[in-house]
């Protein structure tokens, strides 16, 4: 397994920086247009389940740049920075972006298969993919739960996946896309395993 060595790592590599900016701009535009009663960008760019009649072809991509509120945006962007800066420094910008977008697309497509789903917004599926990537790459590095409790990354990932599965099965109507989160992790797992089988693949 790789050993995390932060010396020389950029704290804000290019892709992470631009993703943070794009997400912030999208949220600001959403709030501004909504307050002016001009347009609901989440309605247009969020991912609607086909059964609602609101689905559009661009939504599996655009939904991951939209957020419901400030706390939703903040926690997703904090996690994007926390895990994304390490993975982009390790992989490079191109591979990182392919992985991030693939996890987000996979999460969105899985949410389309969930009965009863309506509107999905947020970068959580892609972020959960990054969490999985960090846990698989640096399984014995410590993550501080609530900034206080140290827990190894591999157990952190397994625990979060288990929680999402349980909540998805038993609390499927709580307004959180639990299976979309799992979809992001599943796509991330498959992509990492595929890359590991082709170590000389150039991306």
Q: Are 59 and 109 spatial neighbours (Cβ–Cβ below 8 Å)?
A: no
Q: In whole angstroms, what is the distance from residue 19 CA to residue 181 CA?
A: 19
Residue 124: active-site member: yes
- Classify burial at 31, counting beta carbons within 10 Å of its beta carbon; exposed 0-12, middle 13-18, buried 19 or more: middle
Q: Which is the catalytic residue, given 67, 111, 124, 178?
A: 124
Structure tokens that stand for 61 in this block:
């991509």
Residue 181: active-site member: yes
What length is written for the chain? 203
- Looking up tokens 């910008």 gives 93
Active-site positions read 124, 181
């Amino acid at each position: 397994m790789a050993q995390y060595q932060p010396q020389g790592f950029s704290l804000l590599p290019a892709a992470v920086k631009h993703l943070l900016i794009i997400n912030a701009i999208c949220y600001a535009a959403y709030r501004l247009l909504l307050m002016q009663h001009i347009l609901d960008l989440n309605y247009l760019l969020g991912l609607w389940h086909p059964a609602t009649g609101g689905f559009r072809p661009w939504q599996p991509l655009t939904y991951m740049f939209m957020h419901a509120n400030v706390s939703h945006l903040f926690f997703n962007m904090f996690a994007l920075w926390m895990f994304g800066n390490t993975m982009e420094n390790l992989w490079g910008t191109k591979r990182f972006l392919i992985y991030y977008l693939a996890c987000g697309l996979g999460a969105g497509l899985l949410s389309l298969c969930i009965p009863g789903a309506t509107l999905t917004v947020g970068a959580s599926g892609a972020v959960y993919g990054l969490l999985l990537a960090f846990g698989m790459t640096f399984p014995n590095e410590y993550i501080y739960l609530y900034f206080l409790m140290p827990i190894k990354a591999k157990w952190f990932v397994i625990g979060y996946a288990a929680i999402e599965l349980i909540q998805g099965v038993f609390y499927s109507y709580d307004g959180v896309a639990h299976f979309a989160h799992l979809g992001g992790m599943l796509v991330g797992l498959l992509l990492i395993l595929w890359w590991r089988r082709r170590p000389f693949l150039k991306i």
